[in-house]
Structure 1
Amino acid sequence: MSAQPIAALFYPPDTDPVPVMAQLVRALQARGVALVGAIQHDTGPRANCSMALELLPSGQRLPMSQYLGSGSNACRLDPAAMAEAAITVQAAIADGAELAIFNKFGSQEALGDGLRDEMAAAVMAGIPLVTAVGERFADAWTDFTGGSYDRLPCSAEAALAWWDERRAA
């Protein structure tokens, strides 16, 4: 089976892909791979949805949470910060890279928002893509990619092996 230009690290609902994606990025950076994209860092209690995006390749961390009041149960994703991240990532894609890494194809991306357009832009620019995909978003992911991707377990090792195979091809 030849490798696709897209790899999806599938994870079940009880798995957090955030540490896996951070480990993957650090390993690739240590190898000198030119990256573009964004990975998430939890900056507070997960229940509060407090997070920042690390934008690649710059390493800039952009807070992505907004305060909605003490009675809010909604995710606190800041749409203005997401728009800023998207603009920054689009510019980095235009500068080129060897590999695009995006933290996840999650609920925002499944709905057509989040960094979905930036994922597509990277692939359209000829940059291979790695992201994590929750099992519950498998159908939306397949629709988004047209089914053309390599399905991997959610581990940095699996993604690194995929990357090594792509580079050797």
Structure 2
Amino acid sequence: MTQHQLAALIYPPEIDPAPILEDAARQLHARGVAVAGAIQHASGPCNMELELLPSGCRMAISQNLGSGSLGCRLDASALAEAASIVRKAIDNGPELVVFNKYGAQEAEGKGMHDEVALAITVGIPVVIPVPERFLPQWSAFTGGEFTALPCTAQAVLSWWEALVKASRDAA
């Protein structure tokens, strides 16, 4: 099987990939891997934050629309600011970039879409959760050139180990 530098954690609607991605990123960081990117945290329906790596700072990316509202709204300007910070982290040449997810924004070419493309283009390995419903858009975006993983931290760690081994063997 070809070991791609791009890994997608494919997940169904009932799974929250954020804690899984966070666990994998923390374990890799603890092993000395230079990790950049963004991990999403949610504490309530209208309180989404991105933890920006490697700094660990958190940035709110949602807006509460008030007591009469039935939902919340993504704060596009906050997401753009977070994307800019992730872009700078990619420019510093990490060993791995993690992204919070390939969601509706990215499927429309917004959100962290360009940062994902940048990391891929410069050859930095990427891991990103992809909801099953956006798998067709993801496949089109990547040309099908990715490793599909089950949504577990162990799958990420095994993928990373295989990628490092393949890189060593090729050298």
User: TM-score scaled by structure 1?
Assistant: 0.94
- 1:75-94 matches, cutoff 5 A: 75-94=72-91
> Following TM superposition, by how much is the alpha carbon of 1:77 offset from its aligned partner in structure 2, in angstroms?
1.3
One-letter amino acid of the counterpart of residue 34, structure 1: A
Shift of 1:136: 0.4
The one-letter amino acid of 1:23's match is D
- The answer on whether the counterparts of 1:40 and 1:51 sit within 8 Å (CA) in structure 2 is yes
| Deviation of 1:107 (Å) | 1.3
Matched, 1:22 2:22: yes
Match of 1:97 in 2: 94
Q: How does 1:15-164 map to 2 (within 5 A)?
A: 15-42=15-42, 44-45=43-44, 48-164=45-161
Shift in Å at residue 112 of structure 1? 1.3
The one-letter code sitting in structure 1 at the alignment partner of 2:76 is P
Structure 1 residues 148 and 75: alpha-carbon distance in aligned structure 2, compared to 1, 3 A threshold: farther
Q: Which moved more, 1:65-74 or 1:112-121?
A: 65-74
| Alpha-carbon distance, 1:94 to partner | 0.8
SS of corresponding position for 1:104: coil
Give the TM-score normalised by the residue count of structure 2.
Answer: 0.93
Rounded to whole Å, the distance in 2 between the matches of 1:147 and 1:18 is 23
Tell me the alpha carbon deviations over residues 84-120 of structure 1, each in whole angstroms, 9 at most, x when there is no partner: 1011111111111101100111111111111111111
Q: Percent identity?
A: 54
Give the deviation of 1:148 after TM superposition. 0.3
CA distance in 2, matches of 1:117, 1:97: 17
**C-alpha displacement at 1:16, in angstroms?**
0.8
Structure 1's consecutive aligned runs of 4 or more residues displaced over 3 angstroms after TM superposition are: none
Give 1:67 deviation, angstroms. 2.3
How much is the aligned-residue C-alpha RMSD, in angstroms? 1.1
Structure 2 residue identity aligned to 1:28: L
What's the secondary structure of 1:147's corresponding residue? coil
Counterpart Cα distance in 2 of 1:102 and 1:26: 14
Deviation at 1:151, TM superposition (A): 0.5
Work out whether residues 37 and 89 of structure 1, in 8 Å CA contact, stay in contact via their aligned partners in 2: yes
* SS across alignment from 1:4: coil
